[in-house]
């Protein structure tokens, strides 16, 4: 599980932590979630929506901060029965039709897996973090976390494949940071 390679470059002072995440097989860790634990000041986000369209959850991967309420509207022509697995608890929103919406507050850090019991191919992830410093990498694994205050953080990475990364790292302004992890 612990075999991600993270190469992070700290660009300029006080500032931007960015880099590239790769999987253990060398491929890009597209849409990996990267966050820096150990920073205070995270506030709940507003207006977070995970849409249901064309039998998909959009977006597929969402990061929220603790206390964020997420809306799950159905804009599809068919019914969906959305449920999540979150801290080993199952939240079932029941069947609901086009135009209806359900919501859930994510009150603890952790990963929630979103599924539909009608359409097994539907899935999405919500990563709840307790930090203002996080990013979702693009399809090539590139990420950027702006405005990071220098300090020592635990850098976490999660990828849909199940690979994860976790390491305490000093983040200094103006310094290049390369993180490697081996199984
Ligand atoms: Cu569905």
Tens of pLDDT, residue by residue over 12-57, are 456 788 888 888 888 888 999 999 999 998 999 999 999 999 999 9
Ligand 1 center to residue 80 CA distance, Å? 4
Q: Kindly report, residue by residue over 76-96, the tens digit of the pLDDT.
A: 989 988 888 887 778 888 888
CA of 53 to the centre of ligand 1 (A): 9
pLDDT at 90: 81
* Distance of CA 114 from the midpoint of ligand 1 (Å): 11
pLDDT at 11: 47
State the pLDDT confidence band at 172, using cuts at 50, 70 and 90: confident
Give this prediction's pTM. 0.87
Q: In this predicted structure, what is the pLDDT of residue 15?
A: 73
Cα–ligand 1 centroid distance for 64 (angstroms): 23
Distance (angstroms) between ligand 1 centre and the Cα of 56 equals 8
Domains assigned to the chain? 5-40+133-179 (2.60.40), 48-129 (2.60.40.420)
Alpha-carbon separation of residue 137 from 28, 55, 95, 142 (angstroms): 10, 24, 32, 5
pLDDT reading at 181 higher than 50:
no
Q: Ligand 1 centroid to 112 CA: how many Å? A: 17
CA of 82 to the centre of ligand 1 (A): 7
Cα 66 to middle of ligand 1, angstroms: 27
Least confident of 39-53, 105-119, 161-175: 161-175
């Amino acid at each position: 599980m612990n075999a991600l390679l993270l190469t992070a470059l700290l660009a300029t002072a006080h500032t931007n932590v960015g880099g590239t995440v790769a999987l253990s097989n060398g491929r890009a860790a597209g849409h990996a979630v990267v966050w820096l634990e150990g920073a205070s000041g995270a506030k709940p986000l507003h207006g977070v929506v995970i849409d249901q369209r064309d039998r998909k959850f959009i977006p597929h991967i969402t990061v929220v901060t603790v206390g964020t309420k997420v809306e799950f509207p159905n804009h599809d022509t068919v019914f969906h029965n959305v449920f999540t697995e979150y801290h080993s608890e199952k939240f079932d929103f029941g069947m609901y039709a086009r135009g209806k919406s359900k919501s859930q507050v994510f009150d603890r850090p952790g990963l929630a897996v979103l599924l539909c019991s009608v359409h097994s191919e539907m899935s999405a992830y919500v990563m709840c973090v307790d930090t203002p410093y996080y990013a979702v990498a693009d399809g090539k694994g590139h990420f950027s976390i702006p405005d990071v205050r220098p300090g020592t953080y635990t850098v976490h990475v999660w990828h849909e494949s199940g690979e994860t990364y976790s390491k305490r790292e000093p983040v200094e302004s103006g310094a290049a940071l390369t993180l490697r992890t081996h199984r």
